[in-house]
């Protein structure tokens, strides 16, 4: 992007939002739209559902992405046995496809495992926080004592 184009885009953005403070706002809503609060919230059920979708995708790819492998391999061998150079290329294509398929399968597994870990870790953190508050019971620290810890 050329400098002139950047300056033009900034001018257009300023004209589109008259009265907006000068400068840039990244990853933030204007104050009148609720900026300052958390803008990303996810529940354990959502993480588990996304993990399940990733696992379902992996299972479908494992079956559907590999169904032509035996036939492709046989065709490549037959073409090579008949003396055709394209047989080697068909075998190479099958090898590359298999490699790429396994990369995608690993990625889906990684996503599923990460979401599962994240969900269980947040649930564990929530349980520990609740247990800590419950154990404190009526012996909650006064605000002045908490302030001393923060100094």
Closest to 108 in 3D by CA, of 38, 56, 58: 58
The Cα–Cα gap between 84 and 99 comes to: 24
* DSSP code for 43: -
pTM of the model: 0.55
Q: What would the 3-class secondary structure string for 81-135 be?
A: HCCCCHHHHHHHHHHHHHHHHHHHHHHHHHHHHHHHHHHHHHHHHHHHHHHHHHH
Q: pLDDT tens-digit profile of 100-123?
A: 999 999 999 999 999 888 888 877
Q: pLDDT tens-digit profile of 34-92?
A: 545 555 567 778 888 888 999 999 999 999 998 888 999 999 999 999 999 999 999 99
């Amino acid at each position: 992007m050329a400098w002139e184009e950047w300056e033009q885009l900034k001018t257009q953005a300023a004209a589109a939002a008259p009265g907006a403070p000068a400068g840039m706002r990244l990853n933030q809503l204007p104050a009148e739209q609720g900026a300052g609060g958390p803008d990303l919230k996810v529940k354990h059920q959502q993480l588990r559902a996304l993990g399940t979708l990733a696992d379902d995708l992996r299972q479908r790819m494992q079956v559907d992405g590999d169904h032509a492998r035996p036939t492709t391999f046989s065709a490549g061998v037959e073409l090579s046995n008949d003396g055709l150079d394209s047989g080697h290329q068909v075998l190479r294509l099958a090898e590359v496809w298999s490699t790429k398929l396994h990369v995608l399968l690993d990625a889906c597994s990684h996503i599923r495992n990460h979401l599962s870990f994240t969900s269980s870790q947040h649930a564990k953190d929530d349980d520990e926080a609740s247990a800590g508050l419950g154990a404190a019971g009526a012996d909650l620290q006064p605000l002045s004592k908490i302030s001393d810890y923060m100094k």
